[in-house]
């Protein structure tokens, strides 16, 4: 995993770009768990669009990357209790979860999937 720290001029805070996997590691319409610096992340590929959210369901400690990806809705379902989370906002869309999960900026750099972490 490669890291690059930078200071965004608008925020004045240090963030880190982490290369978390290769484009070929995530098939379209699927999710993959990656662990970065103590964070569990869920990287999702929907066609040419990429998303990254926290991998831990906010209702219970289950891996969201093991759940079903809902492409049309841009959501992922927790495999344990069925809560769905928006891939764009992290907000829960169904109960029993009521707390959002973190959302991270993700971009493609050549063949690398790069996530920006605070």
Q: How far apart are CA 97 and CA 94, in angstroms?
A: 7
Beta-ladder partners of 21: 113
What pLDDT, on a 0 to 100 scale, did the predictor assign at position 13?
A: 67
Whole-number percent of the chain with pLDDT over 70: 88
Q: How far apart are CA 80 and CA 113, in angstroms?
A: 27
Over residues 29-80, the pLDDT tens digits come to: 999 999 998 999 999 999 999 999 999 999 998 999 999 999 999 999 999 9
Ranges of beta strands (E only) in 1-118 are 3-6, 15-22, 30-36, 39-46, 49-54, 69-70, 75-77, 84-86, 103-109, 112-117
Classify 5 as helix, strand or coil.
Answer: strand
Q: How far apart are CA 62 and CA 87, in angstroms?
A: 17
Over residues 82-98, the pLDDT tens digits come to: 999 999 999 999 999 99
Ranges of beta strands (E only) in 23-100 are 30-36, 39-46, 49-54, 69-70, 75-77, 84-86
Q: State the fold for domain 3-117.
A: Rieske Iron-sulfur Protein (2.102.10)
Q: How far apart are CA 98 and CA 110, in angstroms?
A: 37
pLDDT band of 8, cuts 50, 70, 90? low
DSSP code for 101: P
pLDDT band of 17, cuts 50, 70, 90? very high
């Amino acid at each position: 995993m490669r890291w690059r720290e930078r200071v965004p001029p608008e925020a004045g805070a240090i963030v880190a770009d982490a290369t978390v996997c290769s484009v070929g590691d995530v098939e379209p319409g699927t999710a993959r768990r990656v662990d970065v610096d103590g964070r569990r992340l869920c990287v999702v590929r929907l066609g040419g669009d990429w998303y990254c959210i926290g991998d831990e369901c906010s209702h219970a400690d289950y891996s969201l990357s093991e759940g079903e990806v809902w492409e049309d809705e841009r959501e992922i379902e927790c495999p344990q209790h069925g809560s769905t989370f928006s891939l764009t906002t992290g907000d829960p869309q169904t109960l029993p979860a009521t707390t959002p999960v973190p959302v991270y900026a993700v971009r493609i750099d050549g063949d690398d999937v790069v996530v920006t972490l605070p």
